[in-house]
Chains A and B, each alone.
Chain A
């Protein structure tokens, strides 16, 4: 497959974001990737090596999405490198895992700014670059719609994200831009999420999950590939991908 497509993935150097990046390079003709990250330089370089070995040009973008000025600077850099984007995937999240009633104002702001608010500004930055049409995808989680202990702040951020998916999907449809989301259950990548009492949380999650296993970044990436390349009549849907957890 010719690799003529270009994608931006926020949080694209680790976990789910990296798995989606690989899937897009291998199966969606993506030849140029813009991967945003904030913290882990080593992981970013490893992701770049992995993806470039598959024949993709990777641009690492170290910008902190908590700050609008940095998002603007990131798009200045992207606009200097390309005049076209086909895919945008938002896979960025940060929070403090604690009861919602104990979350402090700075922790709340950081959670909302990075996990949800940045999606809007990035989507706004992508629209002019998707002049030939495009697909956007937000990675949410089941904590947006069900109570998970110590997940309140991020749960609210994910709800916000899902609502933005619905609004943007309608507003951008005329521009031939489709927006959807994935509502992922508990994912085990290289490590488990840093929840308090994680062993107990995993045990309870497995007990309630019909699939009898946690999800993997590859599970999410396969669904992401479908939504980004096949789901031509799907608009503004937040697709639950949780091994059946939400049904029990």
Chain B
């Protein structure tokens, strides 16, 4: 298993554990809220667990900009942002943080 596959596996474990769902139901393109039923406190729980596992702190401004860009890309409004908050966004963000050391 290479590093990115390991990161994906670790992330899926974190999401599944937080939401108490089987890992097999967590896909990279799953929306945390719309598909997996995450509530806002669960998003924080997942975020905190990622910070502990991967050793960095989320920059909320970076996340906000990332989601805003995605909304613009898909011509979506602010209310659709939860749908954009997929497992893949977290995965990409972790890889970005890892790449930036």
Contacts and interface: CB of A to CB of B under 8 A. Distances in A.
A107 B45 contact: yes
B48 A107 contact: no
Contacts of A111: 41
Interface string B46-68: 00100110000101110000000
A54 interface: no
A62 B41 CA distance: 19
B20 interface: yes
B41 A39 contact: no
Interface string B23-52: 000000000000000011110110010011
Contact of A67 (B39, B44, B52): B52
Contacts of A95: 41
B20 A104 contact: yes
Contacts of B41: 94-96, 107, 110-111
Contacts of B13: none
**Size band of the B side of the interface?**
10 to 19
A66 interface: yes
Given A106-B45, A107-B45, A110-B41, A39 B20 contact: no
A41 B60 CA distance: 8
Contacts of B19: 106
Interface of B: 17-20, 39-42, 44-45, 48, 51-52, 57, 59-61
24 contacts: A39-B60, A41-B59, A41-B60, A41-B61, A64-B48, A64-B51, A66-B48, A67-B48, A94-B44, A95-B41, A96-B39, A96-B40, A104-B42, A105-B20, A106-B19, A106-B20, A106-B42, A107-B39, A107-B42, A107-B45, A110-B44, A110-B45, A110-B48, A111-B41
